[in-house]
Amino acid sequence: MENMFRLADHDDFSSRRSIWVNGPVIVGAGPSGLATAACLRDQGVPFAVLEKEDCIASLWQKRTYDRLKLHLPKQFCQLPKLPFPEDFPEYPTKKQFVEYLESYAKHFEINPKFNEYVQSARYDETSGLWRVKTASTGGSNRTEVEYICRWLVVATGENAEGVMPEIEGLSEFGGEVMHACSYKSGQKFSGKKVLVVGCGNSGMEVSLDLCNHNAFPSMVVRSSVHVLPREIMGKSTFELAVLLRKWLPLWLVDKLMLILAWLVLGNTEKYGLKRPSTGPLTLKNTMGKTPVLDIGALEKIRSGDINVVPGIKRFSRGQVELVNGEILDIDAVVLATGYRSNVPYWLQEGEFFSKNGFPKAPFPHGWKGNAGLYAVGFTRRGLSGASSDATRIAQDIGKVWKEETKQTKRTTACHRRCISQF
């Protein structure tokens, strides 16, 4: 159903100060925002998607390295209502995933409003509506618009911005320093000594990529990490864990995973990769810390091509001093130090979201707040978690929408200037 309430002509809407949106405003056109929009479309609910960048899935298109592939099998990464094409490999490449998302948006006629940076959103108790203020980041003129809506869906992602830790002396280092979100390939580091800070999936894969481009990476492991094989006897480790969880308690699945990891990978501790005392799935569920799924870095660690080093004490010009007193000469630093949510910077709300920008209620309860507020993609369960949130949100809003549109036959909204589905 194309939006039956659409009244505004789109060409001149940016010159307006306030715009009424029928249905929800979705902030973010990543996989979570797209999945929610598709499910709303399916329910016949109009919507508007606001995206700060000039494309969908900006994380995937602009802030990930070239060699990236999905690290979970494709059936766990497809969005609701449209599976991946059959000829996609088990682990689609970044390019294939972006192609899929583009065709997904096209299929469900999702046309986000690009270059719309949401600066603030607050619930107006008096009117019972959300007021979402954006600054237009495209073109030469900065335009500010206020969108007014009844429902607000936060889809800005768990990985909205890179964490840049403050480390003593880093500003005096002198060489190139970048976050993993700006790293594309190891090509330009050929022959260089690169310190990779962090040993999550990003740190491991960036280190592997650097090796493959004849650079010399040292990877900082300041605490501990669970490394699991991506597959065990040809079966995805993740899939195996999901299967076992149907019958067994979490602690037992954790134990089995660690035994299997030991059988396949051996003792990783002897290479400086100390395991946390909590099991990998429990750690993921309680702390959100993702285990590393090994796709070749461990082999390079074993061979010494990736040098594992302990935490950093301080940087100085062209050098880093480690906590064990060792000093390394280095040419560049890649901070694979993780990401954070940006929700606290723009959402003026303190009940549903906590200070770290994640919903306070744990999965599966963190998708719905009060007063028409929703969150999609904050489950720490990757794309499958986002799909589950999106389905719930659309059903919830769809139910109210259908009841109300049946009753009122659209009288009130027709008196307002409105948009939905740009």
Ligand X SMILES: NC(=O)c1ccc[n+]([C@@H]2O[C@H](COP(=O)([O-])OP(=O)(O)OC[C@H]3O[C@@H](n4cnc5c(N)ncnc54)[C@H](OP(=O)(O)O)[C@@H]3O)[C@@H](O)[C@H]2O)c1
Ligand Y SMILES: Cc1cc2nc3c(=O)[nH]c(=O)nc-3n(C[C@H](O)[C@H](O)[C@H](O)COP(=O)(O)OP(=O)(O)OC[C@H]3O[C@@H](n4cnc5c(N)ncnc54)[C@H](O)[C@@H]3O)c2cc1C
Of these partners, ligand X, ligand Y, none, which one is at the site of residue 27 (CB under 5 to 8 Å by kind)? ligand Y
- Give the Cα separation of 176 and 26 in Å (integer): 37
121 lines the binding site for ligand Y (CB under 6 A): no
The stretches of 170-309 forming alpha helices (DSSP H) are: 201-212, 237-245, 250-265, 280-287, 297-302
Q: Does 27 bind ligand Y (CB under 6 A)?
A: yes
Task: Please check whether residue 177 is in contact with residue 335, taking contact to mean a CB–CB distance below 8 angstroms.
Answer: yes
Spatial distance between the Cα atoms of 320 and 329, rounded to a whole number of angstroms:
7
Distances from the Cα of 401 to the Cα of 32, 35, 111, 405, 406, angstroms: 21, 18, 21, 6, 8
3-class SS at 27? Answer: strand
By C-beta, is 220 or 375 nearer to ligand Y?
A: 375
d(CA 357, CA 266): 37
Task: Name which of 309, 79, 347 is nearest 195 in CA terms.
Answer: 309
Q: Are 163 and 338 spatial neighbours (Cβ–Cβ below 8 Å)?
A: yes
DSSP letter string over 159-174?
Answer: TSEE-----TTGGG--
> Of 26-34, 187-195, 366-374, 402-410, which segment contacts ligand Y by CB under 6 A?
26-34
Q: From 66-74, 167-175, 358-366, 414-422, give the range in contact with ligand Y by CB under 6 A.
A: 66-74
Single out the residue of 401, 421, 419 nearest to residue 6, CA to CA: 419
Residue 357: contacted member of ligand X, ligand Y, none (CB under 5 to 8 Å, by partner type): none
Select from 6-14, 62-70, 139-147, 163-171 the region that touches ligand Y (CB under 6 A).
62-70
Rg (CA), the chain: 23
Instruction: Check binding of 193 to ligand Y (CB under 6 A).
Output: no
Residue 222 partner contact from ligand Y, ligand X, none using kind-dependent CB cut-offs of 5 to 8 Å: ligand X
Q: Which of 158, 254, 294, 305 binds ligand Y (CB under 6 A)?
A: 158
> 110 or 330: whose CB is closer to ligand Y?
110
Chosen from ligand X, ligand Y, none, partner binding at 145 (C-beta under 5 to 8 Å by type) = none
The answer to whether 396 and 43 are in contact (CB under 8 A) is no
d(CA 207, CA 225): 15
The residue sitting closest to ligand Y, measured at its beta carbon, is 30
Q: Interacting stretch for ligand Y, rule CB under 6 A, among 51-59, 137-145, 230-238, 401-409?
A: 51-59
**Footprint of ligand X on this chain (CB under 6 A)?**
68, 70-71, 159, 165, 167, 180, 197-203, 205, 220, 222-223, 290, 311-312, 336-339
Q: What are phi and psi of 67, to 5 degrees?
A: -80, 5
Quick note: the x/- pattern for ligand Y over 359-398, rule CB under 6 A, is ------------------x----xx--x------------
160 binds ligand Y (CB under 6 A): yes
Q: Helix H segments across 70-148? A: 94-107
Q: Which does 156 bind (CB under 5 to 8 A by kind): ligand Y, ligand X, none?
A: ligand Y
Answer for which of 37, 38, 48, 72 binds ligand Y (CB under 6 A) is: 72
Residue nearest to ligand X (CB): 200
77 binds ligand Y (CB under 6 A): yes
CB nearer ligand Y, residue 73 or residue 169: 73
Residue 198 binding: pick among ligand X, ligand Y, none (C-beta 5-8 Å cut-off by kind): ligand X
State the Cα–Cα distance between residues 371 and 151, nearest whole angstrom: 8
Residue ranges that bind ligand Y, judged by CB under 6 A? 27-33, 50-53, 57-59, 64, 68, 70-72, 77, 117-118, 155-160, 202, 339, 342, 346, 377, 382-383, 386
